[in-house]
Homo-oligomer: A and B are copies of this chain.
Amino acid sequence: MRVYNFSAGPAMLAEEVLQQAADEILDFEGHGMSVMEMSHRSTEFIRIAEETEADLRELMKIPKNYKVLFLQGGATGQFAAIPMNLSKKTDTADYILTGLWGKKAIKEAEKYLSVNIAAKTEPFTTIPELTAWNLSKNAAYVHITQNETINGVAFNYTPKTDAPLVADISSMILSEPIDVSKYGVLYAGAQKNIGPAGLTIVIVRDDLMGKARSYTPMVWNWSEKSVSGSMLNTPPTYSWYLAGLVCKWLKRQGGVEGIAKINDKKAEKLYKFIDQSGFYKNDVDKKYRSKMNIVFTLPDNELDKAFAEQAHAMGLKNLEGHRSIGGMRASIYNAMPEAGVDALIKFMKEFESKNG
């Protein structure tokens, strides 16, 4: 029996997607082999790859002057690739620090250029007002983490900056409409809203290509990769195929606009329940609450273990918060049905009545 999996990533996938993958795993469309076994240069795989890109472009309304790259190495790999592709060693980049992923991005970027933390919040429970950002003159780029997976805080708008805006959208890609044209670079690890771990999507505006440092590894040189259609070397073909199945599933859900409505409803329900409860608590500024990663605490962290274990026994898995901050976290990405949130709320009520 399938469970409701609240893991922050790798995360739940739609059962329909997994079922299709299962049906095709030994023999894809009569070719007598699995997609895993296909040459990345075969007609069959190239069709899969191109369709996936076309579907992603359609879903996200990606303008023509942006390239879509299918890379490896995760968002953490791009933490290095971004400064390598966009700056010189003597440059400065502005980073807006709103959570633990932003912190990691900054630590990695500091190897490659001067980082100016133009704004930060600590504890990570809000988004600093744009008017208070201390942006550098001539920054190579401005970096934000659109949704902080660990802290459950998210931008609810796209800041307008002079320097190209670079955003880590790993945990919110495809969950709500986003105006790609306002960004220079968008990037995301696949393992939350796209497919299995091992695929990284990078969306780059054409004018930002071709500036990579001489020591940029070839596989992360955006312009070299782009020229080859992300096939300069063997791409993670099976993850790419699964991303394609997810895109097609998402189109059947009414696309990003359709799923966004469901996501809004899921998040609203859960926050409303938490807020009216005297037992559970979420400290994030209401304006900037994540719709994907909902963090909450119990009145006594001694109860955390019992909460997670009892939830687990009810088929509500992986509700423990990130090891760095503790507490609880429900990651409710696109593949989490509303019924999963309902089941969670029902369990939370019962747990409260027993322990409140």
Contact = CB atoms under 8 A, between A and B. Distances in A.
B219 A76 contact: yes
Nearest to A27: B2
A128 to B, nearest CB: 26
* Interface range for A: 35 or more
A3 B197 contact: no
Looking at chain A's contact residues, the main secondary structure is loop
Contacts of A315: 32
Contact of A234 (B37, B189, B318): B189
Given A72-B73, A217-B80, A238-B197, A1 B27 contact: yes
A47 to B, nearest CB: 15
Interface stretch (A5-13, A52-60, A177-185, A264-272): A5-13
Highest count of chain B CB atoms <10 Å: which of A7, A36, A218, A219: A36
Contact of A219 (B8, B74, B191, B218): B74
B36 A196 contact: yes
Contacts of A233: 74-77
7 contacts: A32-B317, A72-B73, A73-B220, A74-B219, A81-B217, A198-B198, A217-B217
The 3 closest A-B pairs by CB, nearest first: A198-B236, A3-B32, A80-B217
